[in-house]
Amino acid sequence: MICINCFHVKTRVANSRPHTKPSVWRRRKCNSCQAVFTTYEKPSLDDRPILQNNSQTDAFNIGRLIISISRSFQHDTKAAKYASLHLAETVESKLIATTKPLSTDDITAITYETIRHYDPVAGVQYAAQHDLVTSTRRPGRPSTSFSYED
């Protein structure tokens, strides 16, 4: 890899360790200017077509995912700014670890579970925005149907 500081063609790995599986964290050092920088190596989703509801396929787009996640944090703008990228990367890692063909529904389900685990309120907002809410009836409440027997 070239140096990000002086564009010298040779850098060496000074330190390396597995990060959050399946990625690898590396500290690189330039042989010319001695600049040190960090890289992450992880499998790519570029060659994994994502099946859409209209039976077309599309490429995975982490930018779209980040925007979609940040929309679920309208109650917490700080989290929208700082957690959205991290949550999107967590979703991406889970998708990489999934061996079956991927669909937009899979991405939605995994994103929902990831957001819900981090912030239940954001989970509810994400579910509402993606039509994951199938029933609005609250548990334990009586049915709203009446019978007239007099």
What does DSSP say about strands 24-30 and 57-58: parallel, antiparallel, or unpaired? Answer: unpaired
Question: Closer to Zn ion at the Cβ: 8 or 117?
Answer: 8
User: Rounded to the nearest whole angstrom, what is the least distance from the CB of residue 39 to Zn ion in the complex?
Assistant: 14
Question: Closer to Zn ion at the Cβ: 1 or 109?
Answer: 1
Question: Closer to Zn ion at the Cβ: 30 or 110?
Answer: 30
Q: What SS3 state is found at 42?
A: coil
User: Rounded to the nearest whole angstrom, what is the least distance from the CB of residue 6 to Zn ion in the complex?
Assistant: 3
**Extended beta strands in the chain, E state:** 11-18, 24-30, 36-41, 50-51, 57-58, 102-103
Q: Which residues contact 68 (CB under 8 A, 6 or more apart)?
A: 111, 126, 129
- Interior angle at CA 50, CA 57 and CA 40, nearest 5: 135
Question: Closer to Zn ion at the Cβ: 5 or 103?
Answer: 5
Number of residues that make up the chain = 150
User: Rounded to the nearest whole angstrom, what is the least distance from the CB of residue 29 to Zn ion in the complex?
Assistant: 9
Q: Using CA atoms, how far apart are residues 127 and 132, in angstroms rounded to an integer?
A: 5
Question: Closer to Zn ion at the Cβ: 8 or 75?
Answer: 8
71: exposed, middle or buried (Cβ count in 10 Å: 0-12, 13-18, 19+): middle
Binding-site ranges for Zn ion (CB under 5 A): 3, 5-6, 8, 30, 32-33, 35
User: Rounded to the nearest whole angstrom, what is the least distance from the CB of residue 82 to Zn ion in the complex?
Assistant: 31
User: Rounded to the nearest whole angstrom, what is the least distance from the CB of residue 13 to Zn ion in the complex?
Assistant: 15
